[in-house]
Chain A
Amino acid sequence: MNMNVAPGRVEAETRNVRLIADCDIHPTPNTTRDLYPWLDQRWRTHIETFGALRRQGVQQGPAYPKSQPDAARRDAWPEGGRPGSRLDFMQKQHLDANRVALGVLTTISPHPGAYQNPEMSAAFCRAVNEWQKAEWTAKDTRLKGSILVPYEHGDLAAAEIAHWAGDEDFVQILLLSRTVEPMGQRRYWPLYQAAQEAKLPIGVHAFGNGAHPITSSGWPSFYIEEMTGHAQTCQSQITSLVLEGVFERFPGLRIVVIEGGFAWLPPLAWRLDTHWTKLRAETPHLKRKPSEYIRDHVWITTQPMEEPQSRQHILDIFEWIGWDRLLFASDYPHWDFDDPARCLPIAISEDQAQRFFLDNALKLYGVDPAKAAAATLAA
């Protein structure tokens, strides 16, 4: 029998073999004060004096912690800061280790887009956008920002999009999924018009406060119900976008469903098609079956991935949605993170993997593959 003295150190390993695009990475300012360089004194004073009014229903406020402190992986806390607050830590733990060639930033805390005060909402969205550029995308060219917009105020949102249009540091517009009205309603159309003109997809990320209960049947008791409830929010948003004729009116519009799950998408499309054959006369502005609009206009990010008993079921769903519509997302640094090296329950072909992990995102977000590869090498 041999006896060895155990070494205490474990080397960091590169967990992934291929270059990937990660379409849901959450940077976070440590505090609101981090945004002050990009806020007029008027708004600094305002937030310290009055705070930010959110559309929040009959509850105290958003629940935290969600499963883990700050809803984050326990190993994702940089020294002296919140998870997602320090670029160097994110680079080491995630971007480098997982070979991220394109990282799409989705700032959701804060996402001031639904603040009740329209001008305040616009000012804070602008500040977060400037902060993304100064602190993230300018410092690491693998990262691209999402434009936060005051999405409850269509004209202000359109103005924010127009302000950033053409800036290569930003690759999409970001909304939260719980809006005040279903997303197909006309109050949001100026936003869609501006997105189409700027040729930017619209990411719809789970969460937000639309003043309504977080499930369609009221306030639940458990966080797990909120997690599951994101699927119903996303379903009603896609239903609304299709049936209100948004995709008919804005044929260039592309919607990315982020963190809402996706296994519900095929049955939603089947149900809509079935109803449409009988109820078509109610919405004569629709020229095609609802499922066709969905296939043409909707992309999905795959985190959190449903984990069925039969792993084959996930593949069947991927097939229906289409290998050109799937975007890998990790949700780093949040607790329900998907590891690119381990998230797929079953082997897929090299071609499928290439599209799933990288090519679809580069194409959707208009990022040149050569530039993405160069950014990775430079990092």
Chain B
Amino acid sequence: MTRHIVCAARDLPPGARKLVHLEGRPILVLNVKGEFHALLNICPHQGASLAGGILTGLVESGEPGDYRYSREGEILRCPWHGWEFDVKTGKSWCKPSRIRLKDYPVAVESGGALVEGPYVAETFPVSIDDDYVVVEVATARVAERGAAGG
């Protein structure tokens, strides 16, 4: 496991997103209403970059003619064919058990805590008063591919 500093927390306000490459993988980090999430940026359907998709809500219905709109801003819609993913779990809305985006642990840590760590990268822009968004990714040489969906 390697932990990567993505940016200062204040640079990723609610509703914002940032695409980074960590360990050869494109990872999309999002701030949804103050909670940070990190997802593999490869749509499991045909591989689109999800970074260009909109964050939207969920339309649900108990029966025809009855509609509810909920979870505004928590559903990431693929920019190509519109598959919907739950940002919090990475699960797709159409087949949640089979098709999901890989998600990565994200934490917000203070600059002070980070500089105290034993293996701080030299390029880390330390300003120890700030909080930083940190994503944890398994170390790997080869970029992961999303599984083909159908």
The finding on whether chains A and B are genuine partners in a shared complex, rather than unrelated, reads yes
Interface residues of A (CB under 8 A from B): 1-10, 15, 67-68, 73-75, 307-309, 311, 335-339, 341-343, 345
A5 B3 Cβ-Cβ under 8 A: no
Residues of B within 8 A of A2 (CB): 2-3, 119, 121, 139
- 19 of the cross-chain contacts (CB-CB < 8 Å) are A1-B1, A1-B118, A2-B2, A2-B3, A4-B3, A5-B5, A5-B125, A6-B7, A9-B21, A10-B19, A10-B26, A68-B82, A73-B48, A75-B48, A335-B82, A337-B46, A339-B80, A342-B45, A342-B47
Residues of A within 8 A of B81 (CB): 335-337
Cβ-closest chain B residue relative to A309: B150
Cα distance A311–B150 when bound, in Å?
8
Residues of A within 8 A of B49 (CB): 75
B114 in contact (CB, < 8 A): yes
Q: Mark B55-91 against chain A: 1 for CB-CB distance below 8 A, else 0.
A: 0000000000000000000000001111000000000
Cα distance A109–B128 when bound, in Å?
55
A343 B46 Cβ-Cβ under 8 A: yes
**Which B9-35 residues have C-beta < 8 A from chain A?**
18-22, 26
Q: How far is the CB of B43 from chain A (nearest CB, A)?
A: 9
Among A6, A307, A339, the residue within 8 A (CB) of B47 is A339
Given A2-B3, A3-B114, A6-B4, A345-B150 contact (CB < 8 Å): yes
Q: How far is the CB of B117 from chain A (nearest CB, A)?
A: 6
Cα distance A155–B22 when bound, in Å?
62
Among A6, A74, A343, the residue within 8 A (CB) of B20 is A6
Residues of B within 8 A of A339 (CB): 46-48, 80
Q: How far is the CB of B85 from chain A (nearest CB, A)?
A: 14
Among B4, B52, B125, the residue within 8 A (CB) of A4 is B4
- Main SS of the interface on chain A? loop
Cβ-closest chain A residue relative to B121: A4
**Which B99-143 residues have C-beta < 8 A from chain A?**
114, 117-121, 123-125, 134-135, 139
B150 A5 Cβ-Cβ under 8 A: no
Cα distance A311–B119 when bound, in Å?
48
Q: How far is the CB of A370 from chain B (nearest CB, A)?
A: 31
B46 A8 Cβ-Cβ under 8 A: no
B21 A341 Cβ-Cβ under 8 A: no
B52 A75 Cβ-Cβ under 8 A: yes
A4 B1 Cβ-Cβ under 8 A: no
A6 B52 Cβ-Cβ under 8 A: no
Cβ-closest chain B residue relative to A338: B46
B80 A337 Cβ-Cβ under 8 A: yes
Cα distance A342–B117 when bound, in Å?
42
Residues of B within 8 A of A73 (CB): 48, 79-80
Cβ-closest chain B residue relative to A308: B150
By Cβ-Cβ distance, the 6 closest A-B pairs, closest first, are A74-B79, A75-B52, A6-B20, A342-B46, A339-B46, A2-B2
Residues of B within 8 A of A335 (CB): 80-82
Cβ-closest chain A residue relative to B5: A5
Q: How far is the CB of B47 from chain A (nearest CB, A)?
A: 5
A75 B124 Cβ-Cβ under 8 A: no
Cβ-closest chain A residue relative to B135: A6
A7 B150 Cβ-Cβ under 8 A: no
Given A337-B81, A342-B47, A4-B2 contact (CB < 8 Å): yes
In addition to A3-B124, A345-B148, 10 A-B residue pairs with Cβ atoms within 8 Å of each other are A1-B1, A4-B5, A5-B123, A8-B18, A9-B21, A73-B48, A74-B79, A311-B150, A341-B47, A342-B46
Cα distance A7–B134 when bound, in Å?
13
Cα distance A309–B98 when bound, in Å?
13
Cβ-closest chain A residue relative to B139: A2
Residues of A within 8 A of B118 (CB): 1
Cα distance A1–B139 when bound, in Å?
11
Given A6-B4, A6-B20, A10-B21, A74-B119 contact (CB < 8 Å): no
Q: How far is the CB of A51 from chain B (nearest CB, A)?
A: 32
Residues of A within 8 A of B150 (CB): 307-309, 311, 345
Cα distance A3–B109 when bound, in Å?
12
Residues of B within 8 A of A309 (CB): 150
Cβ-closest chain A residue relative to B42: A342
A1 B80 Cβ-Cβ under 8 A: no
Given A1-B3, A3-B124, A74-B54, A8-B19 contact (CB < 8 Å): yes
Residues of A within 8 A of B2 (CB): 1-4
Cα distance A13–B26 when bound, in Å?
12
Q: How far is the CB of A227 from chain B (nearest CB, A)?
A: 11
B4 A3 Cβ-Cβ under 8 A: yes
A7 B20 Cβ-Cβ under 8 A: yes
